[in-house]
Chains A and B, each alone.
Chain A
Amino acid sequence: METDYKSLKEGGFMRQVQKNNFSARIKVVGGRLTAEQLVAISAIARKYGAGHVHLTSRQSVEIPFVKLKDVPAVRADLEAGGLKSSVCGPRVRTVTACQGSEICPSGCIDTYPLALAISERYFGRQLVHKFKFGVTGCMNNCLKAEENDMGIKGGYIVEWLPEQCNLCGVCIKACREGALAQTDSEVLIDQEKCNNCGRCVKACPFDAWHGEAGYILSFGGIFGNRIAVGQQLLPIISDEQTLFRVADAVLAFFDEHAEACERFRSAIDRVGWDVFQAAVEGAYHGR
């Protein structure tokens, strides 16, 4: 029998060193699985695998040692357990996320619904090469936004509320950018230095800072054979509509400009960062 490795791979079954064994890659969005899904995974790993799973570096789960003949049965059991196979190859991959503001006290944005929305819109979309999105809730960057082709980091656009402030000085200490200074009667902010980290908002014990949540985007991160940090090219974005307009433009740029087998970062490098910047700025301004 001729084995169609390509379709196997698209369906998330990765060929192993051991002949006729495949590692079943399961789709996980934002690193979240329900307790029921975990039970289903456990059952499949016992029945068709070797009784263990592998947690991937991108928050997915793989069940190794699935036999070729069992692939259809595993697919069926996955579906029955409310799970799907993940993807591999030249397309939009698993969208990763930290726990964000729903759970983490440092979080500025609710990462999971955003990861779901991104996944809903782009997951599996065919491109010239793989493309990774990652969502991290704040400047602490637990999810390492800049490693991704497009990273999204939560931040705050901050505003000082004089009526609430008792000039305790905590925010001045919390700010790591040196953007804040205090006089006898007020707190002064240097907008040039502010990087929207939101630490002043989080630290103030008197609710004297208002923080409007926003997205800080980075582009062209790559952390495999080649290592390069994603670049921030736009100001913080405060609405999801603009975020998706920019993301659409980014993938369109990749579709339009990339040569065969070229990663996004290499495509930007070759075409020119000025050209790419003009494209994302256009989308940012709604052009």
Chain B
Amino acid sequence: MADRVEFAIDETVDITDVVCPVTFVKAKVALEELDAGQILAIRLSDGEPVVNVPRSLKDEGHQVLKLADNCDGTYTLLVRRMEED
């Protein structure tokens, strides 16, 4: 199992106020405002967003670090911004 380590968060975005497909777009835009290597914390809703957004960001080439259940119907996803290839 992957080690549980703490990460330093550079920026935060809340995408619980939008619905698919804007969830992904809002997260992607926020992520692309960061420098490569920086870490974004994304607050997202249970259901569709938590099932789809983490994987979509990974498929975009970013590094998903951690997903934590906030136990209030939301999750916090930590993603490291990667260089465009």
Residues of chain A whose beta carbon lies under 8 Å from any beta carbon of chain B: 105, 162-170, 173-174, 185, 199, 202-206
Contacts and interface: CB of A to CB of B under 8 A. Distances in A.
Contact of B1 (A163, A169, A170): A163
Contacts, number: 44
Given A166-B66, A205-B55, A173 B1 contact: no
Contact of A173 (B50, B59, B64): B50
A169 B64 CA distance: 14
17 contacts: A105-B56, A165-B1, A166-B1, A166-B2, A168-B67, A170-B51, A173-B47, A174-B51, A185-B1, A199-B51, A202-B55, A203-B55, A204-B55, A205-B54, A205-B55, A205-B58, A205-B67
A200 B37 CA distance: 28
Contacts of A170: 50-51, 54-55, 67
Interface of B: 1-2, 4, 46-47, 50-52, 54-59, 64, 66-67, 69
A30 B55 CA distance: 28
| Nearest 9 interchain pairs by C-beta | A205-B54, A168-B67, A205-B64, A166-B2, A174-B51, A205-B58, A203-B51, A205-B55, A203-B55
A167 B3 CA distance: 11
B50 A165 contact: no
B52 A173 contact: no
